[in-house]
Amino acid sequence: MNMMRLKIIATVLVAVFLIAQFVQPKRTNPPVVASRSLQAHVQVPQDVLPILNKACGDCHSSQTVWPWYSHVAPLSWMVVDDVNTGRSHINFQDWEAQVNPKEAGEHLSLICKEVRDKGMPPFTYRLMHKDSRLSDQDIDKLCSWSQSVGAPLETEGDHHH
Ligand code: HEC
């Protein structure tokens, strides 16, 4: 490959990157209504709430702290998508958004499963947010709470939806 070719390719890449910046996804922080929150519906112990806030809040609350790279495409597209998807499953500040009490109960149980399996917070998020890494003690605290307030999970076999 000659120098000319490399220069053309580099120019095209830079141009694509710059044009991509015009596609800005919406970074929303919906209004918080206290009466709709998790705590308004479920007993959350004093030592559990801070763990949920530090490790889960950016994607499962309405008060996301948007990092600088959430303003830079293509990362911005991935971050915004993660937050929107996370909130659509569980938003601790909009607990009433869930379809029904059964779903809410299952979500509470899933919290223990997700943190034990290291599924949540997601790996890439943990890389960027050191504070979100959970100690074994954090996981134990989340689990004993999750299991005490959660509903039994459906087994794979009788999943209807
Ligand atoms: C970087 C964003 C992000 C963070 C931080 C995060 N989550 Fe999630 N969470 C998601 C996304 C996105 C989904 C949707 C499922 C998927 O795509 O994996 C999800 C799904 C879940 C589910 C499954 C819900 C269902 O309907 O099956 C649970 C439970 C959950 N998260 C709990 C947590 C807990 C507890 C924490 C903190 C310890 C946490 N999450 C931190 C993004 C996040």
The helix/strand/coil state of 88 is helix
Give which of 137, 120, 130 is closest to 82, Cα–Cα: 120
pLDDT of residue 157: 55
> CA-CA distance, 149 to 101, in Å (whole number)?
12
Which atom from ligand 1 is nearest to the alpha carbon of 82? 12
In testing the pocket of ligand 1, which one of 59, 85, 112, 125 has its CB within 8 Å of the most ligand atoms?
59
CB–CB of 117/146 below 8 Å?
no
Task: Express each pLDDT in 135-161 by its tens digit.
Answer: 999 999 999 999 999 998 876 555 555
State both tokens at 118.
Answer: 């290291």
pLDDT of residue 99: 86
pTM for this predicted structure: 0.92
CA of 76 to the centre of ligand 1 (A): 18
pLDDT of residue 153: 81
pLDDT of residue 151: 92
Please identify every stretch of the chain with a pLDDT value under 50, giving residue numbers as ranges: none
In testing the pocket of ligand 1, which one of 114, 115, 124 has its CB within 8 Å of the most ligand atoms?
114
- For the chain, give the mean pLDDT: 94
CA of 10 to the centre of ligand 1 (A): 37
State both tokens at 57.
Answer: 């809040």
CA of 142 to the centre of ligand 1 (A): 14
pLDDT of residue 22: 97
pLDDT of residue 154: 74
CA of 88 to the centre of ligand 1 (A): 10
pLDDT of residue 155: 67
* Closest residue CA from atom 25 of ligand 1: 89
